[in-house]
Amino acid sequence: LHCTRPLCLGRRRLSSDAHMRVRTPFRCSPHPCEYEIAFVSDVEGDLDYFNRWVAGSRCVAYTGSDEAALTLTHARAYFVYGGDVPDHGRGSEQLLRLLVGLKRAFPRRVALLVGNRDLNKLRLTSECAPSDLARPHWSIPAPHWDPSAPTLSQHLEQVAAARGGGATAASCDCAAERLRWMYENTLGCPATFEARRAELAALRSVGSATGDNGGGGGGGGGGGGGGGPPPPPPP
């Protein structure tokens, strides 16, 4: 087993562009069988970095110039993703689709490991469910692991103060603001909400995606009012 020298691509990463050659002797053959394993990790939504990694990989490549799908380059190529797909960059959904598509195409030769940034998003399936969104905002505590983090109520009060026009914490309470509060104060990724909003706007070919589902309930300032396309689901 040996690793070629990792390529230095992009910013600091816990990952490398390591390609491992594994020689496995088979009893039925006098010749060793060589496999190549490509590994990358902690891309965290940075699609530009991932594209540079693919460009330097001997095992993984795009199937076409549109970079819409990945493939393995030869019959003995394997790929391992070490975890942490989403968060900081503006390509989280696109990267997820690429990796899942590659896994479906080569289920026995692709391994997708999960990291903390993947696992902690499982919270969203419960905390963004209608039953949980129905809980009063004042009943939801701050994260116990960060005493300095604001409660949901404190976050909504800050949002209301910024909006003005008679907005209150209750009128600002919506799924989007709860999600923004979770990202910024409980999941350790304060830039993710805006990054996801920008990505969704680009993918859906709308000029800009609003972050509010119901946008300020009672008013949001007397000026812009209603109109425009309906907002996309929260990131």
pLDDT tens digits along 198-208: 999 998 886 65
CB 122 within 8 A of CB 230: no
> Mean pLDDT for the chain?
80
- Place 224 in a pLDDT band, splitting at 50, 70 and 90: very low
Q: In whole angstroms, how far apart are CA 4 and each of 27, 118, 119, 189, 201?
A: 27, 28, 30, 33, 39
Strand partners, 110: 79
CA distance 209 to 6: 38
Find, among 22, 87, 13, the residue nearest to 52 by Cα.
13
The fraction of the chain above a pLDDT of 70, given in percent, is 73
Top pLDDT among 145 and 212 is at 145
Find, among 129, 133, 153, 131, the residue nearest to 142 by Cα.
153
What is the total residue count of the chain?
235
- The pTM (predicted TM-score) of the whole model is 0.71
The fraction of the chain above a pLDDT of 90, given in percent, is 61
Strand partners, 100: none
CA distance 120 to 115: 9
First to last CA, the chain: 41
Top pLDDT among 142 and 18 is at 142
Top pLDDT among 185 and 209 is at 185
